Amino acid sequence: MKALVLTGVKQFEIQNLPTPEIAPNEVLINTAYAGVCGTDHDLYAGRPGSAAAVPPIVLGHENSGIVEAIGAEVTNVKPGDRVAVDPNIYCGQCEFCLTQRPELCDHLSAVGVTRDGGLAEQFTAPASVVYKLPDNVSLRDAAAIEPVSCGVHGLDLLDLHPYQKALVIGDGFMGQIFAQLLQAYGVHQVDLAGIFDDKLARNKEQFGVTETFNTTREQIPADAYDVVIEAVGLPATQAQAVAATKKGAQVLMFGVGPQEAHFEMNTYDIYKKQLTIQGSFINPLTFKDAIALVSTGKMNIGGLISHELELEQVQDFLDGRISGVSKAVVKVGKVGK
């Protein structure tokens, strides 16, 4: 089978690999689509994502496809099923797994990070992370279930209510996902701050966003929001997120900054406003919710996918030679929609 193999830092090779073997609890999947995201940028450049990727390895952690074969112990899917795969695999035995916080697992492994992923015509995964898709969710949209599930985890960590007014900072793929998710979770007003007029306008016209702010020329109102989601990962936007809070607010620090980055905040404000500053890491047990949100149309994912690439174009994308990308998915195999 054809595979895009990361052979070293910023080095890819198209290789012909043997069909992967499956263990009794695993599933062999013919890949349909693999989403590529900021994590792949990091792994490609030799930086860790949720874990480190050690070459040679096949990336691709946002995958959909069709089940080709199942191990003897697998009962949740069968050959021919259309599926999406949660990349994250937890050990089930460490202190974090045993206290219902598996995302913090001491022995996290992941499809497309620590084991071969979906940038190949076939890949394998434990059955416990393989989810059958409803008929109305396309394999193309299903390649973006994983990012939606990360957003769902972030919102699960907050205390959300319809009365709240929310601000999302960041008009990238995740910021736009949050703009829709917060509405699906019943928050009555969602505003969006970003740097691209076209994306901001589209979110207002098509995706229910109320106010938008282009922060290259407009100020975000101070002391104005009950919930602020930071989905950029820069010290400046993290500071903006805290400054936008009103009393009693919650801030979700979702964006991932460089490992050595810091931002400044007024610690008196945390006390006086009784702020909650919440981190969020990956997507424990949120795939079913993410699939349901896409299936019911509460989350329009197709409208956010801007590019469909071939395996041969992934390096161009990661090197920044493809511009104007809102979200790119790679059409890997020959299987259908």
Ligand X SMILES: NC(=O)c1ccc[n+]([C@@H]2O[C@H](COP(=O)([O-])OP(=O)(O)OC[C@H]3O[C@@H](n4cnc5c(N)ncnc54)[C@H](O)[C@@H]3O)[C@@H](O)[C@H]2O)c1
Contact set with ligand X (CB under 6 A): 37-38, 147, 150, 169-175, 193-196, 215, 231-233, 237, 254-256, 280-282
Told to check if 91 binds Zn ion by CB under 5 A, we report yes
Nearest distance from C-beta of residue 24 to ligand X, angstroms: 31
Closer to Zn ion by CB, 29 or 34: give it.
Answer: 34
End-to-end CA distance of the chain: 20
- Rounded-to-integer distance, Cα 222 and Cα 241, Å: 9
CB of 111 to ligand X, least distance (A): 15
- Only one residue has tokens 């496809």, namely 65
Residue 20 parent element (H or E)? none
Q: How far is the CB of 17 from ligand X (least distance, A)?
A: 28
Span of 89-97, 115-123, 158-166, 203-211 interacting with Zn ion by CB under 5 A: 89-97
Whose Cβ is closer to Zn ion: residue 249's or residue 293's?
A: 293
DSSP state of 134: P
Q: Which does 237 bind (CB under 5 to 8 A by kind): Zn ion, ligand X, none?
A: ligand X
Q: Which is nearer to ligand X, 117 or 147 (CB)?
A: 147
**Residue 137's binding partner, choosing from ligand X, Zn ion, none, with beta-carbon cut-off 5 to 8 A by kind?**
none
Taking the complex as a whole, how short is the minimal distance between the CB of residue 271 and ligand X, in angstroms?
26
139 contacts 80 by C-beta, under 8 angstroms: no
Contact 231, 178 (CB under 8 A): yes
Give the SS3 label for residue 316.
Answer: helix
Residues 6+ apart with CB under 8 A from 145: 62, 64, 84, 131, 137, 287, 290, 291, 294, 301
Give the whole-angstrom CA distance, residue 110 versus residue 253. Answer: 22
CA distance 169 to 191: 9
Q: Which does 97 bind (CB under 5 to 8 A by kind): Zn ion, ligand X, none?
A: Zn ion
Q: Which does 200 bind (CB under 5 to 8 A by kind): ligand X, Zn ion, none?
A: none
Compute the distance between CA of residue 199 and CA of residue 189 in angstroms, rounded to an integer.
Answer: 18
Nearer to ligand X, 25 or 306 (CB): 306
Q: How far is the CB of 61 from Zn ion (least distance, A)?
A: 6
The distance of closest approach from Cβ of residue 19 to ligand X in the complex, given in angstroms and rounded to an integer, is 30
The correct pick among 57, 105, 294, 311 for binding Zn ion (CB under 5 A) is 105
Task: Please give the Cα distance from 232 to 331 (Å, whole number).
Answer: 27
Q: Are strands 276-279 and 307-309 parallel, antiparallel or unpaired?
A: unpaired
Partner from ligand X, Zn ion, none binding residue 91, C-beta < 5-8 Å depending on class: Zn ion
